[in-house]
Amino acid sequence: MKKRYLFSFLSLGLISTSFGQTDCDQGRYATDVYSTIDITSNILYGNNTSNTGASTDLELDFYEPNGDTSTARPLVIWAHGGSFITGSKTDGDVVELSNRLAKKGFVCASINYRLGIAFPFNQTNSTKAVLRGVQDMKAAIRFFYKDRKTADTYKIDTTQIFIAGSSAGGLISFHLAYLDKECELEGYIAASDVTALGGLEGNSGNPGYSTKIKGAIGLAGALGSYGWIEVGDVPFCATHGTADGTVPYNRGTVNVVGVGIMTIDGSRMMHEQAETIGLPNKFYSHYGAGHVPHASSAATMDTTEWFIRDFLVEQVGCSETALQPANAPLQASTLYQLAYCGLGIETMNMDAIKSIFPNPSSDRMTIELNDASNVEQIELIDLAGRTQRLNIPISSSTIIEKGNLVSGTYILKISYVDGSISTNRISFQ
């Protein structure tokens, strides 16, 4: 079913027929160049089994400017909120933001994904719910890649696909973007459960097509661990209320229907990690606001729209003055020791290290050891758990050269002959 939304219309003569710099010059993506938005509802994009074992069709609503002749359009795929229990693709905030972005010349898809958390409400069952949402959104991404290569009904520029979500949808967006190794789920869910669900990619539809994205947007979103954000990952845009009692602004407990489930890293922690490793990101704090304030405040909705607009305009390559610059985070955020994908600590032996300097360093770093004869191996591991340097020469003053290392934070892991291990965080600029 197709609906039409009317707004103040500007001349269609401003719109070019293909994506490029001309679009930017004519105001597309930065301003409201369209007034009539067409919505095609209930498009089937996949199917999978729900948490109760029921076969579930997956549908989306597609938003596009009426009369648009562009043949390669940036796409934003939205996931709604609702604690993975309630909500739908027609929730007011995702509908409003989809319409607002479509007026600027983007196209949007709002998806339904599988809802439901099995009892009891605990970390394992909640993680399964997030993973099902990620799998369904990946099927939606593949749906548009498939369409581009076949019927090309939706005229998507697949190099410009963004994912976005509010609350639970924000968790889906961020976990899709940054949870890319099953070992990162150690401590959250058993590996056998991940396999039973279909792995990180899932079986929700359109197999064989890409799930590559250009960037992620999360409104009141969070991530299981900040360390899943790695050098080279896609950029993100995040907004969050500093007094959010449902999804933590910083590191804290996520609550489902008032029940504390597990500790996760909110947008503030994600921003800290991104800044540490040099990953492009935009973060806006709604000072004093609670959960998803954009859904209940017209002024905050405007702020949120402008902030997302600024992120997207930059990502598609336009040069425009920001409508809503980022503000300063309200709270300090401490990056804790990571413990997954081989980053776990067995036994600490901190007394063996005299000093590490300079840290951070732009070229080389010295590790002074109290007793080099007790050291068996020194290695350097990135925050994704990948070994970057192995069998570093050992001496009382061990030198580590930056060389071809990407600027960012690393874990210095020292293994001792007595079986103990010490880890230290170091950074190269």
User: What pLDDT tens digit does each residue of the chain (429 aa) get?
Assistant: 444 333 333 333 333 334 455 789 889 999 999 999 999 999 999 999 999 999 999 999 999 999 999 999 999 999 999 999 999 999 999 999 999 999 999 999 999 999 999 988 889 999 999 999 999 999 999 999 999 999 999 999 999 999 999 999 999 999 999 999 999 998 899 999 999 999 999 999 999 999 999 999 999 999 999 999 998 999 999 999 999 999 999 999 998 877 888 999 999 999 999 999 899 999 999 999 999 999 999 999 999 999 999 999 999 999 999 999 999 999 999 888 888 887 764 444 556 678 888 988 999 999 888 888 888 888 888 766 677 888 888 898 999 999 989 888 888 888 888 777 777 778 888
- Bridge partners (DSSP) of residue 162 are 76, 215
pLDDT at 346: 44
How far apart are alpha carbons 77 and 361 in whole angstroms?
40
Tokens of 21: 């710099």
pLDDT at 371: 84
List CB contacts of 311: < 8 A, sequence separation 6 or more.
215, 217, 235, 237, 282
Tokens of 222: 């969070």
Phi-psi region of 285 (alpha: psi -120 to 50; beta: other; left: phi over 0): beta
Q: With H, G, I as helix, E, B as strand and everything else as coil, classify residue 365.
A: strand
List CB contacts of 390: < 8 A, sequence separation 6 or more.
377, 379
pLDDT at 417: 82
Rg, the chain, Cα only: 23
Q: With H, G, I as helix, E, B as strand and everything else as coil, classify residue 261.
A: strand
Question: What's the Cα-to-Cα distance from 37 to each of 61, 68, 91, rounded to whole Å?
Answer: 12, 10, 17
List CB contacts of 321: < 8 A, sequence separation 6 or more.
none
Whether cis (ω within 30° of 0) applies to the bond prior to 248 is: no
User: Are 167 and 81 spatial neighbours (Cβ–Cβ below 8 Å)?
Assistant: yes
User: Are 237 and 338 spatial neighbours (Cβ–Cβ below 8 Å)?
Assistant: no
pLDDT at 312: 98
User: Are 131 and 85 spatial neighbours (Cβ–Cβ below 8 Å)?
Assistant: no
CA 261 to centroid of chain Cα atoms = 20
List CB contacts of 50: < 8 A, sequence separation 6 or more.
56, 114, 115, 116
pLDDT at 410: 82
* pTM (whole model) above 0.85: no
